[in-house]
Amino acid sequence: MQQYIDSYDFNGKKAIVRVDFNVPLDENFNITDDTRIRRAIPTLKKVLAGGGSLIIMSHLGRPKKVDPKFSLGHIVGRVSECLGVPVQFADDCQKAAAQAAALKPGEVLLLENLRYYAEEEGKPRGLAEDASDDEKKAAKAAVKASQKEFTKTLASYADCYINDAFGTAHRAHASTALIAEYFPNDKMFGYLMEGEIKAIDNVLKNAQRPLTAIIGGSKVSSKLAVLKNLVGKVDNLIIGGGMGYTFVKAQGGNVGNSLHEDELIPDALEILKEAKEKGVNVSLSVAAVCAQEFSNDAPRKVFPIDQIPEDWEGMDASDASLENWKKIILASKTVLWNGPVGVFELPNFAKGTLQIAEDLAEATKLGAYTLVGGGDSVAAVTKMGYSDKVSYVSTGGGAMLEAIEGKILPGIAAIQE
Ligand code: AMP
């Protein structure tokens, strides 16, 4: 049975909390962005304020074995600073029983990187490249079997389980999903997860209309399921960035050297057909800022979206496209945005994406509910200083995408079921 963090009695209890402390580190192991730590603090403080103690667990990077480069030891100091209490460290997440047992109310223990163990993800490691199918199968069965023990050990440290790691909610890992079964009556979401789930529901389940989705990024293939799910739900679907050119080509346009995927033309046509049948307004760029080289300093020229010459490549949305999109965004009551509408990494082609960030902030001011997710979109909103001027900035790129594909995320299901 799902519990709720606000009403749960933590007094004298040990809570094991899965957080997403997968923060970026520089070459000297200094944290370059501590957003993920800060976003988990309300949940962690709630447990301590309620008289509980904390066992915090996370992954960091993608180590394939014990590797000091990926040690959570690098972040103990910052976690302690953000929490305002000392933080103990367990340098092996599977051998922390004594430290966990000794925790007194108000005390905090951070476990070493869960992904030092293959059991966290439940995927075999170190398989020879030429391993046979039978060998692969056996290795998978072996890691799945030891995953149970791994999960049980983590669960044995605590009286209750909190999942506050939205960034990994789409993974059925030991710490994100499997562990929940050991806490049938003592499992709950942290505040961050609750916020993320509510934000997605505000868009997919309880949206005020008109509802507009802006989907950008490089390829249709990576967001095909997102587009297919959204086309049945939204009033306006703005398709920008590299993925727009497949839609332009599907309708007979010349996209020149722009990014496109010929093999996805049938899917693009299917989405356009469904949109038409459902009365959904699909809005593509009307013109593109193009270059002949994929470089920031390349000379720029604007061409109509369906008349891009052979050796030119669409790199950003044009002013006319941005004007159209602004009108749609400002007339919306709910807006979802995922993915840049141009090559955001190159400052000379970031204008469109930054403009979308500005439009969302303005729409929010006018009373719309606005949700932003995905690395580049979040970076654009942050760069413009608008993180507090949109309704919600998601912390999970992949998890958010899977949620807007309409999938039930394992990390969410494990708590709710
Ligand atoms: P995604 O991870 O699918 O959200 O895609 C993000 C990437 O899309 C960024 O690296 C952008 O540079 C890229 N992108 C956006 N628009 C274009 C474009 N017109 N041509 C090439 N890449 C693009």
Closest listed residue to residue 405, CA positions, set 261, 254, 204, 220: 204
Q: For 49-66, what is each residue's pLDDT tens digit?
A: 999 999 999 999 999 999
Nearest ligand 1 atom to the CA of 342 is: 16
342 lines ligand 1 (CB under 6 A): yes
Nearest ligand 1 atom to the CA of 345 is: 12
Residue that finishes a domain, picked among 127, 160, 189? 189
374 lines ligand 1 (CB under 6 A): yes
314 lines ligand 1 (CB under 6 A): yes
The one-letter amino acid code at 33 reads D
Residue that finishes a domain, picked among 141, 159, 189? 189
Beta strands in 216-333 (DSSP E): 236-239, 281-283, 287-291, 301-304, 313-317
- The reply to whether 416 falls in a domain is no
Distance between CA 206 and CA 402 in Å, rounded?
18
The one-letter amino acid code at 399 reads A
Q: For 173-217, what is each residue's pLDDT tens digit?
A: 999 999 999 999 999 999 999 999 999 999 999 999 999 999 999
Both tokens of 213, joined, read 């989705």
Mean pLDDT (whole number) for 349-366: 97
Distance between CA 336 and CA 199 in Å, rounded?
10
Q: Which of 214, 215, 218 to mutate to test the pocket of ligand 1 (most atoms within 8 A of CB)?
A: 218
- The reply to whether 415 falls in a domain is no
Residues 221 and 97 occupy one common structural domain: no
* Residue-level pLDDT at 393: 95
241 lines ligand 1 (CB under 6 A): yes
Residues 160 and 226 occupy one common structural domain: no
* Residue-level pLDDT at 219: 93
User: How many structural domains are present in the chain?
Assistant: 2
Q: Which parts of 122-264 fold into alpha helices (H)?
A: 133-156, 191-204, 220-230, 244-250
Expressed as residue numbers, the domain containing 121 is: 5-189
Per-residue DSSP letter, 307: B
Q: Which of 226, 296, 318, 376 to mutate to test the pocket of ligand 1 (most atoms within 8 A of CB)?
A: 376
373 lines ligand 1 (CB under 6 A): no
* Atom 18, ligand 1: residue with shortest CA distance: 242
Contacting residues for 149 by C-beta, under 8 A, at least 6 apart: 119
Residues 13 and 77 occupy one common structural domain: yes
Q: For 66-103, what is each residue's pLDDT tens digit?
A: 999 999 999 999 999 999 999 999 999 999 999 999 99
* Residue-level pLDDT at 395: 87
Residues 251 and 288 occupy one common structural domain: yes
Mean pLDDT (whole number) for 225-240: 97
- pLDDT above 90 coverage of the chain, percent: 96
Q: Which residues are catalytic?
A: 36, 219, 375, 398
Per-residue DSSP letter, 10: -
Mean pLDDT (whole number) for 397-415: 95
Torsion on CA atoms 122, 128, 134, 140, rounded to nearest 10: 0
**pLDDT band at residue 396 under the 50/70/90 scheme:** confident
Q: Which domain CATH number covers 367?
A: 3.40.50.1260
Distance between CA 196 and CA 409 in Å, rounded?
12
- The reply to whether 412 falls in a domain is no
**pLDDT band at residue 129 under the 50/70/90 scheme:** confident
* Atom 4, ligand 1: residue with shortest CA distance: 217
The H or E element containing residue 171 is none
* Residue-level pLDDT at 115: 98
Residues 184 and 247 occupy one common structural domain: no
Residue that finishes a domain, picked among 138, 155, 189? 189
Distance between CA 379 and CA 178 in Å, rounded?
32
112 lines ligand 1 (CB under 6 A): no
Residues 125 and 207 occupy one common structural domain: no
